[in-house]
Amino acid sequence: MSEASVAVHADADLLAQAVAARLVVRLLDAQAARGQASVVLTGGRIAAAVYRAVAALPARDAVDWSRVDVWWGDERFLPAGDPERNETQARAALLDAVPVDPDRIHPMPASDGGADPEEAAARYAAELARAARPGTAALPHFDVLMLGVGEDGHVASVFPEHPVHYENRPVSAVRGSPKPPPVRITLTLPTINTAEEVWLVAGGADKAHAVGMALAGAGPVQIPAAGVHGTGRTLWLLDRAAAASVPARFRSLR
Ligand SMILES: O=C(O)[C@H](O)[C@@H](O)[C@H](O)[C@H](O)COP(=O)(O)O
């Protein structure tokens, strides 16, 4: 489990640009080391801003996108192509602009045809297991897993005080989400924590309380962002407004 590091950028635009540059470097480093790279995406405004910033980076073309596996940490359980789906937003902001291998893009199931969210969660867990490295756990290697942070401290679709905290399976359906839509699919915290690097990206004063609580050691059921960490690195990427309550002990990276 890695100790959290904090990097603060002046505003949300500079934050998105900085995260985008870090993401390109991370993918290049992974490809140099492993011949491929895997990233787990999330939803929300700051995530979409990061994807757009990656698409606008000339350096994006240095990434061999045909050797990047794209997974999702969570998804809004909506029909395929719904503009509110995290997959739809990631494709529009980035994936449609780079030469990915369609077979290496792994969206979470959609709600079409009256699909059952629990069955959809099980299907995604099975897809993850099929991609697992032989002889390892039932999960592929995640080089970087990106998360936004909700005002209530949620990450992916793991919400405070929600039964999802007590789910033993790697992927869970979430009903009664306080953030619309009410039904979602999410990786559980233990699954998130298998990632080599976990990045929590938050901008805006409305995130400052949750960010401060998480870094001050709140419990994960109360503040789910407090319960995530990478096996190699846990990076909080913030703008100044979201960093307002970060405990003084955290060294600031630039
Ligand atoms: O489905 C979603 O919306 C995301 O998975 C969710 O976890 C999001 O990342 C946070 O709510 C932060 O969203 P903002 O960046 O828009 O505040």
| Banded pLDDT at 252 (limits 50, 70, 90) | low
CB within 8 Å of 3: residues ≥ 6 apart: 234
With tokens 């992927």, the residue in question is 171
Q: How far is the CA of 156 from the centre of ligand 1 (A)?
A: 7
For the chain, the average pLDDT equals 96
Beta bridge partners of 4: 234
- How far apart are the two ends of the chain, measured CA to CA in Å? 22
Q: Which CATH number fits domain 4-250: 3.30.750.24, 3.40.50.1360, 3.40.50.300, 3.40.50.200?
A: 3.40.50.1360
For 136-172, the pLDDT digits (tens) are 678 999 999 999 999 999 999 999 999 999 999 999 9
Q: What is the mean pLDDT of residues 196-214?
A: 98
| pLDDT(254) > 60 | no
Domain residue ranges of the chain, discontinuous segments joined by +:
4-250
Q: How far is the CA of 33 from the centre of ligand 1 (A)?
A: 31
pLDDT at 138: 87
94 phi and psi, to 5 degrees?
-145, -55
pLDDT at 133: 77
Q: How far is the CA of 205 from the centre of ligand 1 (A)?
A: 15
- Choosing from 179, 183, 186, 192 the residue with most ligand 1 atoms within 8 A of its CB, the one to mutate for a pocket test is 179
Q: What is the mean pLDDT of residues 5-10?
A: 96
Our answer on whether the CB atom of 87 is closer than 6 Å to any ligand 1 atom is no
